[in-house]
Structure 1
Amino acid sequence: MASTTKFFRVLIMVCAIMASIACWTAQATIPDSDGVEELDVTRSDFPSDFTFGVATSAAQTEGSAREGGRGPSTWDHRVDILPDRVINSDKFSTAIDSYTRYKEDINIIKHLGVNSYRFSISWSRLLPKGSLSGGINQEGVDHYNSLIDELIRNGIKPFVTILHFDLPQALEEKYGGYLNRSFVTDFEDYSELCFKLFGDRVKNWFTINEPTVLAVYGYEVGIAPPGKCSLKEGVCVIGSPENCLVPAGPCDFGGDSSTEPYIVAHNLILAHATAVKLYKEKYQVQQKGEIGIVLASKYFVPLSESQEDKAAAERLFDFNLGWFMEPFIHKTPPPSEKLRYSLDISAEETCMKDELFLGSNCEGHWPEGLQKLMEYMKEKYQSPKIYVSENGLYTRRNDSLPLADQLKDPERISYLVRHLYRLNKAIKNGVNVKGYFYWALFDDFEWGMGFSDRYGLYYIDFDHNNRRIPKLSAKWFKDFLESNIVTRASS
């Protein structure tokens, strides 16, 4: 794209994660501008059948990466060959040891008082070679059967993500992974295996977690598997040039940032559609379940009332959310032949207006944006059923603090209260939101950031056998779920 291309500016106003919608979590900066009213919310404000849950993923929690017959995933491979690109890379294969401690973890979930648990199945634990032809790993089948049975025995409803970033490395080596149409066939086979094995008990399925991340991070900017891109080394891909959090490159494995993200996204859309069609035609009537996808989007507001800025906001919605939602309601997006995915949007994100931050800085959050995003979904996409599959806040790991201080997280409580309040307002305004999952149940392995950030309601003591300790926020959430008394929290 020519350097003279004009970029219209759009104000970022929220980052909230959902299923059938999703986005990034925010750092612990809690602005007070929303007022005290947002700190008043009770369990009884939500429908009696509303789903409250917690969420994790296999690669971030299970560990036992080379045990139980499991084959390597693309993330295992990245950690092995590029250990310097992943913080705490030596810990990735053990994560927080949930594979062997799942019964303990389920007891924690039960004690917390939520009624649902979102987790993912490791594709390479069921199919070590990625394809049915490579054989089914019975140890993996037995593990997930036991996990699901234990959840149900404890009154916890399983919500299962079929693919959460951890593609079998065997498929990457066999035909290039997501870039090849063969991926669609293998994903269909893998999905059907899950339906056959677990669908008698699992009634809520998510096909693919955040396909935008797979396409953009893996194939435009190269900071996630398979690490492909065609950018110059040092281009800032997360943050700003003045305060760059993650630079791109070097692009060790080739790639084309102008075309490959679109090819990958196309195959991911086909894979989702194929699995959904299969489930609806062959399994849904008998198993009586439902199936969806996890998509990521921020809420965008034009910086000004100009038509150019309004159009820029719509493009940002379309490139983040519409990219995948539009094909699902049978609309054909216009073709694009620009030279890089992020530049194709011709819109720039900013967190400031009139020299003021939204929130206390660029990593703040705006709970009202969650409500607005829900309402946008209702109006734009024919009122789909929505589960907020991930919504959470991270704090920086600081082992120099006494343990008692690390367990105090009033900022997370404030985050929870304010977002639940706004989510409830969206429901009262007619949005078809059926559930909310906090991310994450535990401090876990946050991909390239390793153990440097803490998202959990439960503190993980990484130096003492990964013991699980409830933070103040876990105790608050438990009280919220068990009581109808208005609960206040201060920031």
Structure 2
Amino acid sequence: MNDFPEGFIFGSGVSAFQWEGAVDEDGRTPSIWDTFLNSSNGPTRDMGSDGYHKYKEDVRLMYDMGLHAFRFSISWPRLIPSGRGPVNPKGLWFYKNLIYELKRHGIEPHVTLYHNDLPQVLEDEYGGWVDRKIIDDFTAFADICFREFGHSVKFWSTINEPNMLAWGGYDSGYIPPNHCSPPFGRLNCSRGNSSTEPYIALHNMLLAHASTARLYQQKYKDKQNGSVGITCFAFAVVPLTSSEEDEVAAQRANAFFLGWVLHPLVFGDYPEVMKRRAGKRLPSFSQEESDLVKGSSDFLGVIHYTTMSIAHSSISRHEDLISDMNVMLIPYGNSTLVKFDVLPWGLEGVLEYIKQNYGNPPVYILENGTPTNHNSSLNDVGRVEYIHAYIAAVLNSVKNGSDIRGYFQWSLVDLLEFIDANYTYGLYYVNFSDPERKRSPKTSALWYSTFLKGTTVSSQDPKNLSLLSSSPSFSSQ
């Protein structure tokens, strides 16, 4: 750890819906996640990890581990049950108490305002992110958060991975709010238009982010001296073959996924290839909107897990995000949705791409981790290898000039996972069969703690490390 620049922070994170549980307690109303899981065959662990009741215990785990910071999100339907209007006092006190507990233990709170838990009432009223009404409602929600918590919170992320929310929620329909249309949807969707809604939803997310950032700048910045950023889902991309078609396809993939969010933030407009391929289905920024969005992010949160091989697709129609992109996305190596190869060079590639193409902004790695079978051994040496390798990759990127300010492992404890409930990311095992949701440290928790308390990270190939077997201690020279 001593190899990193002074002030570099290490943390871990959770999201409100996956961690808190208590979905119908103390005034909280349903979010689009509740509706989605209750209407599907997915997991229905209503208690989640029960962080709502066990936050003090979890903060103590963070403190004992040596975490510098903790990333969590605020549940909009817990704080403002009607989506707009009156604040729920019990929801307000929960977050105030959580933040107080973190600060009391010397742990910096990094708060995400929106981690895809839109109040269902707003989805029912006007369709949520596909209607511009959401911009004012989100800004008002953020205003309450800044006012109530901003004296203690200095790092705000507005919206978690809008590119993935737009693709998964409004094109393929595999995450809430489950909008899609044939033939593109992976699930049966009751509403939506895969050709237009992904672009509309992300456009409104960018405008809501920019509106919120302006609000903070004008009303709170001088008093609270914090910063406001946004996050971006970023898998690394490599051409499947050395053909020119696949090389160009990989460039398109970067433009459509990273550029979709970063280009407007840096240049005030979408990438030319997106405008050309999506045509009128891609919303346009007015000059005022362009000026508002451009430069609206104090930092970029990067969410990275794995690398994808990219092949040119022969599909000629341009009717949804993936067909507009004209690529095939293929997990690299032996990776799957619930198993990631250790490919740290992929993260280095993402960070280098951002540095080279978007002005080397301040970056926080806000999610990085790997899932393991929830019922496997606590001796999760595969996760140790993964975390070690990716932290070493971050250090390499820092040495190569990327302005990276922090690294957050995902996730602190086992959480409710929707892709496959049998696979979890936690440093601490959570017994979901136990009403008390008992936490037990995995080897990765002990390793991360050892690292945070002074172990240095070698820049040598992380694959050469001698992994822990039964002992939590680890040193790389």
**1:115 lines up with 2:115 in the alignment:** no
CA pair 364-63 structure 1, distance change in 2 beyond 3 A: same
Q: TM-score, normalised by structure 1?
A: 0.82
SS at match of 2:195: coil
Q: Give the match for residue 192 of structure 2.
A: 255
Deviation at 1:363, TM superposition (A): 4.2
1:201 to 140, 152, 158: 152
**1:71 lines up with 2:42 in the alignment:** no
Q: Give the match for residue 383 of structure 2.
A: 412
Q: Give the match for residue 434 of structure 1.
A: 405
Q: TM-score, normalised by structure 2?
A: 0.84
Q: Give the match for residue 346 of structure 1.
A: 326
**1:282 lines up with 2:219 in the alignment:** yes
Deviation at 1:297, TM superposition (A): 1.3
For 1:478, give the aligned amino acid.
S
C-alpha distance in structure 1 between counterparts of 2:233 and 2:387, whole Å: 19
**1:453 lines up with 2:423 in the alignment:** yes
Q: Give the match for residue 271 of structure 1.
A: 208
2:441 to 437, 447, 470: 470
Deviation at 1:330, TM superposition (A): 2.4
C-alpha distance in structure 1 between counterparts of 2:168 and 2:326, whole Å: 19
Deviation at 1:410, TM superposition (A): 0.7
**1:165 lines up with 2:116 in the alignment:** yes
Q: Give the match for residue 20 of structure 1.
A: none
Are the equivalent residues in 2 in contact too, given 1:62–1:98 (CA < 8 A)? yes
C-alpha distance in structure 2 between counterparts of 1:368 and 1:62, whole Å: 34
CA pair 138-489 structure 1, distance change in 2 beyond 3 A: farther
Unaligned runs of 5+ in 2: 280-317, 459-464, 469-477
Are the equivalent residues in 2 in contact too, given 1:300–1:313 (CA < 8 A)? yes
Aligned pairs for 1:279-358 (under 5 A) are: 279-333=216-270, 334=272, 335=275, 336-337=278-279, 338-351=318-331, 357=333
Moved more, 146-155 or 293-302: 293-302
Deviation at 1:483, TM superposition (A): 2.4
C-alpha distance in structure 2 between counterparts of 1:120 and 1:105, whole Å: 15
SS at match of 2:49: coil
Superposed CA deviations along residues 231-252 of structure 1, whole A, max 9, x for unmatched, are 24xx7x7xxxxxxxxxx1222x
Deviation at 1:305, TM superposition (A): 4.5
C-alpha distance in structure 2 between counterparts of 1:260 and 1:426, whole Å: 36
Question: Identity of counterpart residues, as a percentage?
Answer: 39
Superposed CA deviations along residues 338-381 of structure 1, whole A, max 9, x for unmatched, are 311111001223356xxxx3779984241011112111111110
Are the equivalent residues in 1 in contact too, given 2:334–2:340 (CA < 8 A)? no
C-alpha distance in structure 1 between counterparts of 2:112 and 2:264, whole Å: 21
C-alpha distance in structure 2 between counterparts of 1:486 and 1:350, whole Å: 31
Are the equivalent residues in 1 in contact too, given 2:66–2:453 (CA < 8 A)? yes
SS at match of 1:149: helix
Unaligned runs of 5+ in 1: 1-42, 238-247
1:96 to 37, 43, 49: 49
Q: Specify which structure has the bigger relative contact order, considering alpha-carbon pairs within 8 angstroms and separated by 6 or more residues.
A: 1
Deviation at 1:448, TM superposition (A): 4.5
C-alpha distance in structure 2 between counterparts of 1:198 and 1:452, whole Å: 35
Are the equivalent residues in 1 in contact too, given 2:31–2:117 (CA < 8 A)? yes
Moved more, 334-343 or 53-62: 334-343
C-alpha distance in structure 1 between counterparts of 2:177 and 2:384, whole Å: 37
C-alpha distance in structure 2 between counterparts of 1:484 and 1:60, whole Å: 31
SS at match of 1:46: coil
SS at match of 1:158: strand
SS at match of 1:447: coil
- Give the length in aligned residue pairs: 417
C-alpha distance in structure 2 between counterparts of 1:307 and 1:224, whole Å: 34
C-alpha distance in structure 2 between counterparts of 1:150 and 1:480, whole Å: 24
